[in-house]
Amino acid sequence: MKSLENIKNLPELLVSFETQKMPTFIYLCSHCNNGSYLIDKVVQNIQETFSDNLGYQKITGSTAERIKEALMIARNPVLLLINKGEIKAVFSGIIAQYQLEQALEELGLKVA
Protein backbone atom coordinates (compact mmCIF):
# COMPACT_ATOMS: atom_id res chain seq x y z
CA MET A 1 0.00 0.00 0.00
CA LYS A 2 1.24 3.45 -0.85
CA SER A 3 2.31 5.83 1.87
CA LEU A 4 0.27 9.02 1.89
CA GLU A 5 2.43 11.01 4.30
CA ASN A 6 3.95 13.18 1.54
CA ILE A 7 0.62 13.98 -0.15
CA LYS A 8 -0.26 17.67 0.07
CA ASN A 9 -3.37 18.08 -2.13
CA LEU A 10 -6.04 16.35 -4.21
CA PRO A 11 -4.11 16.12 -7.52
CA GLU A 12 -1.14 14.49 -5.74
CA LEU A 13 -3.51 12.03 -4.07
CA LEU A 14 -5.09 10.99 -7.36
CA VAL A 15 -1.74 10.64 -9.14
CA SER A 16 -0.46 8.42 -6.33
CA PHE A 17 -3.28 5.93 -7.03
CA GLU A 18 -3.15 5.90 -10.84
CA THR A 19 -1.27 2.60 -11.06
CA GLN A 20 -2.88 0.86 -8.08
CA LYS A 21 -5.14 -1.96 -9.21
CA MET A 22 -7.28 -2.33 -6.12
CA PRO A 23 -9.90 0.28 -5.13
CA THR A 24 -9.07 2.20 -1.97
CA PHE A 25 -11.16 4.05 0.58
CA ILE A 26 -9.52 7.24 1.83
CA TYR A 27 -10.80 8.62 5.12
CA LEU A 28 -10.27 12.39 5.35
CA CYS A 29 -9.83 13.15 9.00
CA SER A 30 -8.95 16.81 9.56
CA HIS A 31 -10.05 16.69 13.22
CA CYS A 32 -9.89 13.00 14.17
CA ASN A 33 -12.06 11.93 17.07
CA ASN A 34 -14.03 8.90 18.20
CA GLY A 35 -16.03 8.92 14.95
CA SER A 36 -13.01 7.34 13.28
CA TYR A 37 -13.65 4.06 15.12
CA LEU A 38 -17.06 3.64 13.45
CA ILE A 39 -15.71 4.29 9.96
CA ASP A 40 -12.79 1.94 10.64
CA LYS A 41 -15.22 -0.80 11.68
CA VAL A 42 -17.52 -0.35 8.68
CA VAL A 43 -14.59 -0.44 6.24
CA GLN A 44 -13.19 -3.52 8.01
CA ASN A 45 -16.57 -5.25 7.54
CA ILE A 46 -16.55 -4.27 3.86
CA GLN A 47 -12.99 -5.58 3.42
CA GLU A 48 -14.04 -8.93 4.88
CA THR A 49 -17.11 -9.03 2.62
CA PHE A 50 -15.08 -8.28 -0.51
CA SER A 51 -12.15 -10.64 0.31
CA ASP A 52 -9.69 -7.88 1.22
CA ASN A 53 -9.54 -6.70 -2.42
CA LEU A 54 -9.89 -3.22 -1.04
CA GLY A 55 -7.45 -0.73 0.45
CA TYR A 56 -8.07 1.72 3.28
CA GLN A 57 -5.99 4.66 4.40
CA LYS A 58 -6.41 7.86 6.37
CA ILE A 59 -5.27 11.36 5.60
CA THR A 60 -5.20 13.67 8.58
CA GLY A 61 -4.72 17.31 9.52
CA SER A 62 -4.29 20.18 7.08
CA THR A 63 -3.89 17.90 4.05
CA ALA A 64 -7.29 16.34 4.73
CA GLU A 65 -8.76 19.82 5.09
CA ARG A 66 -7.24 20.99 1.77
CA ILE A 67 -8.63 17.95 -0.05
CA LYS A 68 -12.08 18.51 1.46
CA GLU A 69 -11.94 22.16 0.38
CA ALA A 70 -10.94 21.15 -3.16
CA LEU A 71 -13.97 18.85 -3.27
CA MET A 72 -16.17 21.54 -1.64
CA ILE A 73 -17.23 19.26 1.22
CA ALA A 74 -18.02 20.77 4.60
CA ARG A 75 -19.54 17.82 6.45
CA ASN A 76 -17.68 15.17 8.41
CA PRO A 77 -16.79 12.37 8.15
CA VAL A 78 -15.59 12.11 4.53
CA LEU A 79 -14.72 8.87 2.80
CA LEU A 80 -13.48 8.76 -0.81
CA LEU A 81 -13.46 5.68 -3.02
CA ILE A 82 -10.53 5.95 -5.44
CA ASN A 83 -9.88 3.49 -8.24
CA LYS A 84 -7.05 3.85 -10.79
CA GLY A 85 -6.48 7.51 -9.94
CA GLU A 86 -10.15 8.54 -10.18
CA ILE A 87 -12.64 9.35 -7.45
CA LYS A 88 -15.46 6.88 -7.98
CA ALA A 89 -17.57 7.88 -4.97
CA VAL A 90 -17.64 10.49 -2.22
CA PHE A 91 -19.39 9.81 1.07
CA SER A 92 -19.90 12.46 3.73
CA GLY A 93 -22.02 12.90 6.80
CA ILE A 94 -23.84 9.76 7.86
CA ILE A 95 -22.33 6.86 5.90
CA ALA A 96 -24.12 3.51 5.79
CA GLN A 97 -22.38 0.24 5.04
CA TYR A 98 -24.82 -0.59 2.23
CA GLN A 99 -23.78 2.63 0.41
CA LEU A 100 -20.16 1.50 0.38
CA GLU A 101 -21.14 -1.99 -0.78
CA GLN A 102 -23.26 -0.53 -3.57
CA ALA A 103 -20.39 1.67 -4.80
CA LEU A 104 -18.04 -1.32 -4.88
CA GLU A 105 -20.57 -3.44 -6.76
CA GLU A 106 -20.87 -0.62 -9.33
CA LEU A 107 -17.10 -0.95 -9.84
CA GLY A 108 -17.63 -4.62 -10.61
CA LEU A 109 -16.33 -6.07 -7.34
CA LYS A 110 -18.10 -9.17 -6.14
CA VAL A 111 -18.93 -10.26 -2.63
CA ALA A 112 -16.72 -13.13 -1.48
Q: Look at residue 53 and tell me whether its pLDDT is greater than 60.
A: yes
pLDDT digits 0-9 by tens, 4-48: 888 999 999 999 999 988 999 999 987 766 568 888 999 999 999
Rg of the chain on CA atoms, in Å: 13
pLDDT at position 44 is 93
Q: Is the pTM of this model over 0.85?
A: yes
The DSSP call for residue 96 is -
Task: Give the domains, in start order, of the chain with CATH numbers.
Answer: 10-105 (3.40.30.10)
